[in-house]
Amino acid sequence: MKQYTLAKTAGFCFGVNRAVDLVYDLIAKQKKAATLGPIIHNPQMVEELSKKGVRIISSPLEAQPDECVVIRSHGVCQSVYDELTAHRITYVDATCPFVAKIHRIVERESKAGAVILIAGDPDHPEVQGIKGHASGPVFVARDAKELKDLSDTLEFSQNTPFVLVAQTTYHTSFWRECLEIARKHYTNVKIFDTICSATSERQSEAARLAAENDLMIVIGGKHSSNTQKLRALCAAYCETVLIETSAEIKDIDFSAYDKIGITAGASTPAHIIKEVLKTMSEILRNEENEDFATLLEQS
């Protein structure tokens, strides 16, 4: 009999849930909404919102006069707030409080003269938003090697204060490596561990499940960085498949696996997880159904 385990941390994190709720709140109040970029990295959810009239814009100036702009959980640069205020554009701020905390650290430390170092993906909107809260020098390093290379090229005095923060979804093992480099190569550095615990908990649980199972199914947007990280983590332990919707389940040959773990990225809505479980239950009908009934209740 096959065994299935659904990760307790699968699906929306607190910040994404809050952002999506804020958009639905606007819809419920019959207000027109335009999000600054997709509200989450989940194409199905974005399409659902688009059907409800929610537009995606890339700059506040693209908003129509009757639209309320929504700042998504990733947060934005200070210049975007300035633009919204200067043009008197109505907006709701769905920046995740954990990201907003990094903005405050960067603003404060940068004003006090520190050079800001961000461990993260320079192309990620959250990192671009964090960068945009520094009023002085700011650098992004993807990993410990880049952080080390940066220390060799930067020309600052011995006493220059540095501050190191991390993208909230930064990989915990990369962060440990960055800490070693920061302490060794940046003599005057203050470190703020800004990795969100929702991410590390989801990652640890996914790794634990992957170590205990023969197959891991990761549900989430294929372009979502946190879902990609989950896939990479699980793939180090067992066969791992990343799917966006239940439609992809039929392509998986379950016959070779006895123990199957399931997790989902931070931007995967609960109803998609449920649909995947339902489809699996239909494909694997017979003795597994009892297990699935429990999983469906949990999801």
- Known binding-site residues for dimethylallyl diphosphate equal 41, 74, 124, 224-226, 267
- Smallest gap from residue 92 Cβ to ligand F3S (A): 15
What distance in Å separates the CA atoms of residue 218 and residue 216, rounded to the nearest whole number?
Answer: 6
Q: How far is the CB of 196 from ligand F3S (least distance, A)?
A: 3
By C-beta, is 72 or 148 nearer to ligand F3S? 72
8 Å CB contact between 96 and 62: no
Q: Which is nearer to ligand F3S, 56 or 100 (CB)?
A: 100
Segment 66-69 long-range contacts (CB within 8 Å, at least 24 positions apart) = 66/32, 67/32, 67/33, 67/34, 68/26, 68/31, 68/32, 68/33, 68/34, 68/92, 69/33, 69/34, 69/35, 69/36
User: Closer to ligand F3S at the Cβ: 196 or 242?
Assistant: 196
Contact residues toward ligand F3S (CB under 6 A) are 13-16, 73, 96, 98-99, 168-169, 196, 198-199, 266
CA distances from 280 to 32, 215, 216, 251, 252 (A): 38, 13, 13, 11, 10
By C-beta, is 127 or 181 nearer to ligand F3S? 127
List binding-site positions.
13, 41, 74, 96, 124, 168, 196, 224-226, 267
**DSSP per-residue string spanning 65-105:** TTEEEEE-TT---HHHHHHHHHTT--EEE---HHHHHHHHH
Both structure tokens of 9: 């941390």
Query: Annotated catalytic, 146?
Result: no
Tell me how far, at minimum, the Cβ of 18 lies from ligand F3S, in Å. Answer: 8
Q: Whose CB is nearest to ligand F3S? A: 15
Binding site for isopentenyl diphosphate: which residues? 41, 74, 124, 224-226, 267
Question: Exactly one of 47, 48, 62, 126 is catalytic; which is it?
Answer: 126
Q: Give the shortest CB-102-to-ligand F3S separation in angstroms.
A: 9
Active-site residue set: 126
